[in-house]
Amino acid sequence: MPTKEQVLEEAGKQILMEISFRASELGANFDAGAEDVVRFISAKASELSLAVGEPGFDAAVIAARDSVLLKAAGRAVVEAESFDETLKETARSSLSIVAKLLPIMLM
């Protein structure tokens, strides 16, 4: 009979393996060092440790995995939007320079 710690460790390994696999499969740039995602994984691992021995534990492991993936994917969207914002700023600056230069260039 595995101990609670062994079950948790195994579940944690499975989740991290699943995340890495899914992230690469989805083409996501999953940054394992991303602080908020790591915090989230840690919180889910704690919740899982409380669920050890309860009926439906397997479903809880899958639910934790899904939650972490949704969180990591949400972060990817936020980062991509932040990139878009930077690009938008660059576009604004470039256009304003072109707008200033245009009358000179057309002279």
Residues near another protein (CB under 8 A) are 22, 25-28, 36, 44, 47-48, 50-51, 54-57, 59-60, 62-64, 66-67, 69-81, 83-84, 87-88, 90-91, 94-95, 97-98, 101, 105
Torsion from C-alpha of 7, 8, 14, 20, nearest 10 degrees: -170
Nearer to another protein (CB atom), residue 9 or residue 28: 28
Cβ 59 to another protein shortest distance, Å = 6
